[in-house]
Amino acid sequence: MTPQPKLARTRAIVLAAGLGTRMKSRLPKVLHPICGRPLIDYVLDAAEAATGGRPLVIWSPPVEAVRDAVANRADTARQAEPRGTGDALAAGLAGLASLAGPPPAELLVLSGDVPLVEADLLDALLAAHRASAAAVSLISVITADPGRLGRVVRDDDGEIERIVEARDASQDELEIEEVNSGLYAFDAAWVGARLADLLPSAVTGEIYITDLVALARADGRPVGSIQVPDDGTLDGINHRAELAEATFALQARINERHLLAGVTMHDPTTAYVDASVVLEADVTLEPNVRLRGSTRVGGGTVIGMGSQLVDTQVGRDCRILASILESSEVEDSVQIGPFAHLRPGSSIGTGSKLGNYAEVKNSRLDPGVQQHHMSYIGDAQVGARTNIGAGTITANFDGRRKKRTTIGADAFIGVDTMLIAPVEIGPGARTGAGAVVNRDVPAGKLAVGVPARLRDPRPEPEDLPPG
Active site residues: 373
CA distance 428 to 326: 31
Phi-psi region of 265 (alpha: psi -120 to 50; beta: other; left: phi over 0): beta
Contacts of residue 314, defined as CB under 8 A and 6 or more positions apart, other chains included, come to 295, 296, 297, 298, 301, 303, 320, 325, 330, 334
Q: Is the dihedral of CA 48, 53, 58, 61 positive or negative?
A: positive
Contacts of residue 455, defined as CB under 8 A and 6 or more positions apart, other chains included, come to 445, 446, 448
CA-CA-CA-CA torsion for 39, 44, 49, 52, nearest 10 degrees?
Answer: -170
CA distance 416 to 153: 78
By the 8 A CB rule, do 359 and 372 touch? Answer: no
By the 8 A CB rule, do 82 and 66 touch? Answer: no
Asked, as a colleague might, if the bond just before 338 is cis with ω within 30 of 0, I would say: yes
DSSP state at residue 62: G
- What are the φ and ψ backbone dihedral angles of 39, each rounded to 5 degrees? -60, -30
CA distance 19 to 61: 10
By the 8 A CB rule, do 433 and 424 touch? Answer: no
CA distance 412 to 432: 9
CA–chain centroid gap for 3, Å, is: 26
Count of C-beta atoms within a 10 Å radius of residue 158: 7
AA letter at 404: R
| Strand arrangement, sheet containing 341-342 | 271-273, 289-292, 308-310, 324-326, 341-342, 359-361, 376-378, 393-395, 418-420, 436-437
